[in-house]
Amino acid sequence: MSSDPAQHPDDKLRPHSYDGIQEFDKRLPNWWLLTLYGAIVFAVVYWFVLYESSVVLPDGERITQEMNRIEAEKLGKLVAMLNDDNLWRMSQNPDFAGKGPSTYKSTCASCHGATLRGRDEDSKLIGVNLVDQNWIHGGLPTQVFGTVKNGVAGPGMPAWGPQLGDGRVAEVVAFVLSHHKQGEPIVAVPSPSVAAVQ
């Protein structure tokens, strides 16, 4: 094909000339325009999804969630060798402690209430307050674990260990401990009498 403008009388020429060179005034090909417009639309959608919506979490939050999940898996393996430090670590991990509320609702809330406040929340409940610093059977994490697992003779604390297993008991204890701070004072209080509970 000749590039001499005189041989293409139907084509428009641009109204400029550089060193005697003239250009045809042609439209861009459709495939090129579609690629350009598609890239613009993709960039706007990408920006909106990544930065303006909650569809995709920011990198920092995704990394934090993944680290919490990995830590929760590690903590789950520590159930076999429980001690106070491990139980505190479990209570501070949102993924591990976050597994406890469902078990708490199904097994504990009927006595200790939905807010863990027991008789302080509703006088008809028989369970004690789990979010204050008063503990009847010991407030150390391993003591709380033992109380939940083995139960208490007297008014209404069954042994949950046989039904739930150590893993789910640890999740419930971690959930309860997540409402406390490590190192806070523990106040030993006497067990309420059966008559006082009824």
Per-residue model confidence as pLDDT tens digits over 125-140? 888 888 888 888 888 8
Sorted by sequence, the CB contacts under 8 Å of residue 14 that are 6+ apart come out as 22, 23, 24, 25
Mean pLDDT, the chain, as a whole number?
Answer: 83
pLDDT of residue 197: 45
pLDDT of residue 9: 63
Query: What is the phi-psi region of residue 132: left when phi exceeds 0, alpha when psi lies from -120 to 50, beta otherwise?
Result: beta
Tokens of 173: 């204890």
Class of domain 81-197: mainly alpha
By C-alpha distance, which of 69, 99, 98, 74 is closest to 86? 74
Least trusted range by pLDDT, from 18-22, 59-63, 127-131, 191-195:
191-195
Is the pLDDT assigned to residue 144 strictly greater than 60?
yes
Sorted by sequence, the CB contacts under 8 Å of residue 131 that are 6+ apart come out as 115, 116, 117, 176, 179, 180
Contact 185, 99 (CB under 8 A): no
How deeply is 194 buried, as exposed, middle or buried, from its count of CB atoms within 10 A (0-12, 13-18, 19+)?
exposed
The Cα 167–Cα 173 span in angstroms is 10
pLDDT of residue 46: 92
Please name the residue that has the structure tokens 């401990």. Answer: 177
Least trusted range by pLDDT, from 15-29, 96-110, 135-149:
15-29
Contact 182, 95 (CB under 8 A): no
Q: Strand, coil or helix: what is 24?
A: strand
Write down the domain spans for the chain.
Answer: 5-52, 81-197
Q: Give the pLDDT confidence of 4-49 residue by residue, as tens digits.
A: 656 666 677 777 778 888 887 778 899 999 999 999 999 999 999 8
Is the pLDDT assigned to residue 64 strictly greater than 50?
yes
The Cα 159–Cα 150 span in angstroms is 4
pLDDT of residue 105: 92
